Amino acid sequence: MESKDIVRTGAIRRLCSPIFGTTALILLVAAVALDPAMTALDIHFRKTSILPRVSLSAFDAATLPSFKSAPKESPFLDPHPDDDAGTRDHVLQRLQERDANGTDGQVILFVTYYSDPNDQVPHTPEVCYRQIGGVVRAIGSRTVELGQGDWPKRVEVRTVIVEQELANAAIAYVFCANGRFYTRRNEVRLALGWPGDKRVYFSKIEAVSRFERDEQPDLAMARACKLLSEVLPALLTRHFPRQADLKHRAVGAAR
Amino acid sequence: MNAEDAGANLAREADESHGRTVAAERRALVQALILVLLTLWTFRDEVTKSVAQASTMTQAAHGLALPALAVMLLYCRRAELSRDLQKGSWWGAVLIILAVLAYAVTTWPFYVSYVRKLQFVTAFAGIALVVGGWRILWRCGPLLVLTGLAMPIGWNTYSTLSIRPETLTMDTALKALNLLPDMVVRLQGTELHYVHAGVQGVVGLGDAHNGLAAPLALASVYVFVTFSRVRPAWQSAILLIVAIPVVALGNLLRVLLHACLTVWSGAMPAEGLPRDVALVLSLVATYLVVAAASIVLDHLFVEEGGDSRVATTIRR
């Protein structure tokens, strides 16, 4: 071996300590194998979409014990910021407490349903109301009771108070992904990725109750939460897919 | 052995020791470079995305300055790094494995872009450990913080995080602006609607994302200035404690300047010039505040200690 080679081998040996060599090898293997492995896993375990049992456009407010459809002329209500929901399967209805008249006791019900695994989880009210001039004054959470049935007895929902020019808004919302309830977008994304189910759907259920600028938001928020407590069982019973149907792929669905 | 021989021996030993130190430094530098390049190659998908985001989104543009800031920070702290260089730790390899695993899991099945980006921080921490041990990891802390601040946060996550501080900033700006003569301002969404001397207009403070982007840039400047020189741990601690109020005030200053420049120049609501000028001025103001705080802390230290070692530390 020539002296130059000896010097070069010595330098490389000094450079490649066991720790450095092992770490470099780990990174090298990861650099080569990570992308193809993740792509293969994604393709193999890709989830497919599932339609609702009954389209949300057929949502019937008459089935709700405490609410009815509001009269069409409702000067109190602004257009909803999410009118363009990014899905055809949605409900946007103005409801009213059964014992209320005029514009009293009104709530907007807004439900969107998505089943393409590549669909974006929709924006939350605290983000999108700001785009139409709202100022978010409070963000919190409440528990609503869903009563007896094949669903959780209690569900945590997120509450938002938005100050607006005409009337303030008390908003309560919750996400439902494959039959489970979440209050944050990232939780929904994690739920959609969770291995197990072969098919996915997710939905955002939102109730918006207006109140005058000089009023306290408590009554309006209680009304919004009450609507959610009645709407969620109705959606799970009639519209959203059954849990058993999520466990296997649709016949003929491509992987 | 006479005194001359002993002196020559000592000089030779010192030379050899210096040579070994230089060789160790060079070796560490080459190892770090190789591992950083391998990390960038492993996470190439996220590197490409982050660079594209930083190039097209003004709110993430400060991320482009990260490599330059990192090199400058390392250069400024080279003496400390050289002194603390030790044998590498196997925990570094463990951290790098964790970073790769977390990157893989956030690629599939749980695609969470920001957590995926943060794996650069974990991997760089691992590299510091592998190359120079725990003390080097500690010394590289500011660099890791800068890396974390440079990662663009997704729009929705950013908006959700920014709502409370941004609303507070805009409410405070509203109150301050309403104190000005001939000025009536009200807040609508993320816009300030004003009437000034009978002229109506709108200051488009931008959507939720733009609103809190500046604090990340301000925080980057703050971290860089704080750690660009060697200072005692208590000084660093004080500077870090006051970081949040300084950054919050810097952001408030930016909003106020943006509003005033828009009102007095009669600019359009979403015009870029007032926004950019306000941002640059607030960055300069933040820099001056940190620099002033550093000078005050240095002088306090010398006066109270009165020790020659103190002066040496500060000079170094």
Whether residues B190 and A37 touch (CB distance < 8 A) is answered with: no
Residue B242 is encoded by which pair of tokens?
A: 């006051």
Element (H, E) at A173: strand A168-177
pLDDT of residue A174: 97
Who's near A227: CB < 8 A, 6+ residues apart? A64, A66, A67, A95, A107, A109, A172, A207, A209
The DSSP element (H or E) to which A30 belongs, if any, is: helix A18-44
pLDDT of residue B212: 52
> How many Cβ atoms sit within 10 Å of the Cβ of residue B298?
16
Cα–Cα distance for residue pair B125/B132, rounded to 1 Å: 11
Express as a percent the part of chain A with pLDDT over 90.
57
Amino acid letter for position B180: L
CB A78 within 8 A of CB A164: yes
Give the number of other CB atoms < 10 A from CB of residue B43. Answer: 25
Look at the block and give the residue holding tokens 């450079």. A15
Q: Any chain A CB within 8 A of the CB of B38?
A: yes
* Interchain proximity B93–A22, CB inside 8 Å: yes
Residue A8 is predicted with a pLDDT of: 64
Q: Is A139 on the interface with B (CB under 8 A)?
A: yes
Length of chain A: 255
Q: Which residues on chain A are in Cβ contact (under 8 Å) with B96? A: 23, 26-27
**Lowest-confidence region among A49-53, B108-112, B129-133:** B108-112
The H-or-E segment that residue A35 falls in is helix A18-44
The residue among B267 and B2 whose pLDDT is bigger is B267
ipTM of the complex: 0.80
Give B208 or A50, the one with higher predicted confidence: A50
Decide if B86 touches A, using CB distance below 8 A: no
pLDDT in tens, A173-185: 999 999 999 999 9
Q: By the 8 A CB rule, do B70 and B148 touch?
A: no
Q: What's residue B115's pLDDT? A: 92
Rounded distance, CA A127 to CA A139, Å? 11
Residue A167 pLDDT level (bands cut at 50, 70, 90): confident
Residues A50, A199 contacting (CB under 8 angstroms): yes
Asked if residue A55 has pLDDT above 70, the reply is: yes
What is the model's pLDDT at position B103? 97
Amino acid type, B80: E
Report the C-alpha gap between B13 and B1 in whole angstroms: 16
Dump pLDDT digits (tens) for B266-305: 888 777 788 888 888 998 999 999 889 888 888 876 544 4
Unique residue bearing structure tokens 């209500």: A77
> Does the CB of A212 have a partner CB in chain B at under 8 Å?
no
Distance CA B134, CA B140 (A): 10
Of A23, A34, A124, the CB nearest to B96: A23
Average pLDDT for residues A14-43, to the nearest whole number? 93
Q: With contact defined as beta carbons under 8 Å apart, do B246 and B286 qualify? A: yes
* 3-state secondary structure at position A114: strand
The DSSP result for chain B, as a single string, is: --HHHHHHHHHHHHHHHHHHHHHHHHHHHHHHHHHHHHHHHHTHHHHHHHHHHHHH-GGGGGGGGHHHHHHHHHHHTHHHHHHH-----HHHHHHHHHHHHHHHHTTTT---HHHHHTHHHHHHHHHHHHHH-HHHHHHTHHHHHHHHHHSPPPHHHHHHHHHHHHHHHHHHHHHHHHTSTTEEEEEETTEEEEEETTEEEEEE---HHHHHHHHHHHHHHHHHHHHSS---HHHHHHHHHTHHHHHHHHHHHHHHHHHHHHHHHT--TT-HHHHHHHHHHHHHHHHHHHHHHHHHHHHHHHHHH--HHHHHHHH-
Confidence (pLDDT) at A151 = 87
> Do the Cβ atoms of A79 and A133 come closer than 8 Å?
no
DSSP A118: T
Nearest to B39 among A27, A38, A190 (CB): A27
d(CA B225, CA A63): 64
pLDDT digits (tens, 9 = 90+) for B206-262: 654 454 567 888 888 889 888 887 788 888 888 888 888 998 999 999 999 999 999
Question: Token digits for B193?
Answer: 């609607």
- Domain layout of chain B by residue ranges: 1-152, 153-316
The DSSP bridge partners found for residue A49 are A200
Q: Which residues does A252 contact at the CB level (< 8 Å), separation at least 6?
A: none
d(CA B30, CA A248) in angstroms, rounded, equals 52
The angle formed by the CA atoms of residues B23, B26 and B32, to the nearest 5 degrees, is 140
Whole-Å CA distances, A180 to A154, A243, B110: 12, 10, 17
Q: Identify the DSSP state of A22.
A: H
Task: State whether residue A33 sits within 8 Å of chain B by CB.
Answer: no
Residues of chain B contacting residue A186, judged by C-beta atoms under 8 Å apart? 112, 157
pLDDT score of A72 more than 50? yes
Please check whether residue A128 touches B, CB under 8 A: no
**pLDDT score of B274:** 87
User: Cα separation of B178 and A171, whole Å?
Assistant: 30
For chain A, the average pLDDT equals: 87
Nearest CA to A176 out of A207, A203, A206, A145 is that of A203
Identify the pLDDT of residue B122.
97
- Is B27 in the A-facing interface, judged by CB distances under 8 Å? yes
Stated as kind and residue range, the H or E segment containing A177 is: strand A168-177
Q: Which pLDDT score, from 0 to 100, does residue B313 have?
A: 41
Mean pLDDT of A1-30: 79
Q: Do B111 and A41 contact (CB within 8 A), yes or no?
A: no
